[in-house]
């Protein structure tokens, strides 16, 4: 009966009384059992696959996940350290399963968007058919992130009521309350029970189609301690620019184009770097960057040329309403 309900994703995972995985069952296994003269009276143990593929939660196992996905394994169980099934992921629905906790910073007042934010927190202002923050949340869950922390302050009760504990999205959400403003990253110091060794921190008011798997892979490839999503901006100089030394012209560039990189408000960090964030102190992400650089830790830029919009002003909010109809997220 359950195999019929699941249709194209027809696979069941068999567990013992302690929810430990002991096998997998597909309609093909049933047919093969029937060809061997087994009947519905036989125990399911006699036809299950006893060594199914699985992922262990909390492990840095992205290479394994990519191999499963590219090997056409669509449905994969997630096990805890005791071999118990805690989730089942479907690569028809999500793109990856990143070993990351995500922190969404959602405590700001949103003054530049008044009067819209007088009674509604900025993260709950709707872009299209759902709130700004829900676009962020859904983008992160698309890459398999399912452990979330939301930092709240101004009208935070509304945010907590709207998203709850994440049950409707099959994720876990916990809330961090800022009694006093703690800057763009200070509230992260209050979180002690992260599930993973890597933490993604993002502003709640961004609209973007970033590929979080590529962001994470570059972070790992460079063995970075902190990675910053950066947005390239080009400056076109309409005149020749002279390079001089004590008044003597050494060279010149005709109408040069300079590219600069701005902070995009999304960060990946090794968990141990959180020790550099002081507890209960106003502390910005830029303060953390400076602290890590001063201590000769590796801070990298991840230039991003896809869609990115910081919804800070009324004109940004209006642009987001137009873009959401045309940008593929």
CATH number of residue 263's parent domain: 3.90.550.10
Write the CATH number for 49: 3.10.580.10
Residues 111 and 82 in one domain: no
328 is a domain residue:
no
Domain hosting 117: range is 101-323
For the full predicted model, state whether its pTM sits above 0.95.
no
Q: What is the H or E stretch that residue 164 is in?
A: none
Residues 58 and 112 in one domain: no
- Which pLDDT belongs to residue 73? 85
Instruction: Report the alpha-carbon distance of residue 87 to residue 40 in Å, rounded.
Output: 28
What percent of the chain shows pLDDT beyond 70?
A: 90
First-residue to last-residue Cα distance in the chain: 36
73 is a domain residue:
yes
Q: Structurally, how many domains does the chain consist of?
A: 2
* Residue-wise pLDDT tens digits, 179-227: 888 999 999 999 989 999 999 999 999 999 999 999 999 999 999 999 9
256 is a domain residue:
yes
Residues 167 and 304 in one domain: yes
Q: What is the H or E stretch that residue 204 is in?
A: none
Mean pLDDT, the chain, rounded, equals: 89
33 is a domain residue:
yes
Tell me: pLDDT of 271 over 60: yes
Residues 186 and 55 in one domain: no
- Which pLDDT belongs to residue 53? 85
Residues 57 and 153 in one domain: no
Residues 63 and 148 in one domain: no
Name the more confident of 86 and 101.
101
Residues 85 and 143 in one domain: no
178 is a domain residue:
yes
Residues 171 and 307 in one domain: yes
- Which pLDDT belongs to residue 6? 44
Instruction: Report the alpha-carbon distance of residue 280 to residue 187 in Å, rounded.
Output: 7
Check if the beta carbon of residue 151 is closer than 8 Å to that of residue 107. yes
Beta bridge partners of 217: none
81 is a domain residue:
yes
* Residue-wise pLDDT tens digits, 91-129: 999 999 999 999 999 999 889 999 999 999 999 999 999
329 is a domain residue:
no
Residues 60 and 202 in one domain: no
96 is a domain residue:
no
Check if the beta carbon of residue 150 is closer than 8 Å to that of residue 102. no
């Amino acid at each position: 009966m359950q195999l019929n309900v699941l249709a194209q994703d027809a696979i069941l995972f068999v567990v013992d009384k302690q929810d430990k995985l002991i096998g997998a069952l597909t309609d093909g296994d049933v047919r093969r059992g029937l060809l061997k003269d087994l009947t519905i009276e036989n125990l399911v143990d006699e036809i299950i696959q006893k060594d199914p593929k699985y992922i262990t939660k909390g492990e840095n196992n992205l290479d394994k996940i990519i191999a499963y996905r590219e090997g056409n394994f669509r449905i994969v169980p997630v096990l805890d350290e005791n071999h118990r099934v805690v989730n089942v992921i479907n690569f028809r629905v999500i793109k990856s399963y990143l070993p990351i906790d995500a922190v969404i910073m959602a405590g700001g007042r949103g003054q530049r968007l008044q009067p819209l934010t007088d009674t509604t927190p900025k993260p709950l202002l709707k872009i299209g058919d759902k709130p700004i923050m829900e676009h962020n949340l859904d983008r992160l869950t698309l890459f398999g992130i399912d452990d979330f922390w939301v930092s709240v302050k101004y009208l935070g009760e509304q945010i907590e009521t709207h998203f709850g504990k994440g049950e409707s999205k099959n994720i876990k959400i916990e809330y961090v309350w800022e009694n006093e403003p703690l800057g763009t990253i200070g509230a992260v110091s209050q979180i002690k029970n992260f599930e993973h060794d890597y933490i993604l921190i993002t502003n709640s008011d961004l609209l973007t189609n970033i590929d979080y798997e590529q962001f994470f892979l570059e972070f790992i490839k460079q063995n970075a301690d902190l990675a910053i999503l950066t947005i390239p901006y080009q400056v076109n100089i309409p005149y020749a620019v002279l390079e001089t030394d004590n008044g003597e012209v050494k060279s010149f560039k005709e109408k040069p184009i300079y590219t600069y990189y701005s902070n995009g408000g999304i960060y990946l960090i090794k968990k141990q770097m959180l020790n550099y964030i002081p507890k209960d102190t106003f502390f910005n992400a830029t303060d953390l960057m400076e602290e890590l650089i001063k201590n000769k830790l590796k801070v990298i830029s991840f230039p991003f040329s896809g869609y990115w919009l910081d919804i800070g002003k009324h004109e940004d909010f209006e642009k987001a309403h137009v873009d959401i109809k045309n940008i593929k997220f």
